[in-house]
Amino acid sequence: MVKGLKVATIGGGSSYTPELIEGFIKRYEEFPLSELWLVDIEAGKEKLEIVGNLAKRMVKKAGLPIEVHLTLDREAALKDADFVTTQFRVGLLEARAKDERIPLKYNVLGQETNGPGGLFKGLRTIPVILDICKDMERLCPDAWLINFTNPAGMVTEAVLRYSNIEKVVGLCNVPIGIEMGIAKLLEVDHSRIHIDFAGLNHMVYGLDVYLDGVSVKDKVINLLTNPENTSFVKNIEGLGWEPSFIRSLNVLTCPYHNYYYKSQDFLEKTKKDAEEKGTRAEVVLKLEEELFELYKDPDLNIKPPQLEKRGGAYYSDAAVRLITSIYNDKRDIQPVNTRNNGAIASIPADSAVEVSSVITKDGPKPIAIGDLPVAVRGLVQQIKSFERISAEAAVTGDYDKAVLALSINPLTPSDTVAKQIVDEMLEAHKEHLPQFFN
């Protein structure tokens, strides 16, 4: 008898979980999942129950023999798992709200994966993911770790550098969101579009874009000179590019590039939004309350369309497509976070990059692109330095390294401001940063 497949999802009480369930249901023929373990911590218990019961109703409606287990026992969830997916948030959305609010006092953008917010989310998350890796070594040494937890690039970097887990892939829904957005602009089916992605998580570029195998980059870049055509993810409203800028850059940007190429405009917009609507975390808190009210409905047995507003659109497509491709040795091409291994010439070979890769049963094989265009190379290298030093600070609890990491981030105006922000945010997040206080 063939052993059924077991998947453990850490952070199972996340509002994104119905996305994942939908993906497993849709691809059941290719990936015959028999046990899905949704695991969370005590603080997430209520959400786990609500979202877990919705998951069970979705599976029942689909008529599939998938057992959904809800647990606070991580060890039981990990035991003999084939795949482990991670989608957790240390300190919950309240911590994210601090990441966004505190930097604004210093006229610096705070955001979940960029600048001070990205640093502090990394400092809180990396020790936890490395703990999970240690558990995996004991309980499911052959499992694949598929990480969706932000900052995904920095987290993948830390796993590759500071754990013994080799079978790790970081994943983000931004590239698939860009593909979908471009398909919509060209009014064609997503399956006909292919983009050569290279860079880092939330700092990725589309070097070329193909329709039915023929490059249409010039046409797409021309469409992107229209400001209305630049918002590809729900959680970041693009401000539109100067046509001369995007034409001469000559690559596709991702929504997070707004923070770097439009820093001042975006800072002003973010401050205004924070005053009028609240920070993104505060907006999401309200959204999540509404989502979980919906999820409670005993008659709801599908993923509600409102979930797309949360910013996690296409997550299930990206995550389950990746898992299915590894399991079936599909050798299709997907953009993932993986060890560079020389794919991008100007990034160290042992570092994590986000790059189009051939997905095999042995994991992603990054496609060699040579070097990044000179116009984008320096910024990517600067963010990689930030990720490397941040990961080191997270593992060692070295205060000076944390200040250094923030000082070299392009969103920080000076080392003095970096120190002030680090001091205030260390205090604000003290409970989740024991490595800095022991």
Active site residues per annotation? 256
Closest CA to 110 of 151, 170, 149, 147: 151
- Residues with Cβ within 8 Å of 358's Cβ and at least 6 positions away in sequence, in order, are 331, 332, 333, 364, 365, 367
Contact 89, 124 (CB under 8 A): no
First-to-last CA distance in the chain?
51
Kind of pairing, strands 363-366 and 83-86? unpaired
Calpha distance 366→364 (Å, rounded): 6
DSSP 5: E
Calpha distance 389→403 (Å, rounded): 10
- Residues with Cβ within 8 Å of 213's Cβ and at least 6 positions away in sequence, in order, are 194
214: number of Cβ within 10 Å: 6
Helical (H) or strand (E) element with 194: strand 193-200
Calpha distance 395→106 (Å, rounded): 27
Residue 410 burial (10 A CB sphere; 0-12, 13-18, 19+): middle
Calpha distance 284→333 (Å, rounded): 32
User: Three-class SS of residue 379?
Assistant: helix
378: number of Cβ within 10 Å: 12
What's the alpha-carbon Rg for the chain, to the nearest Å? 21
Contact 339, 157 (CB under 8 A): no
Residue with tokens 């040795």: 329
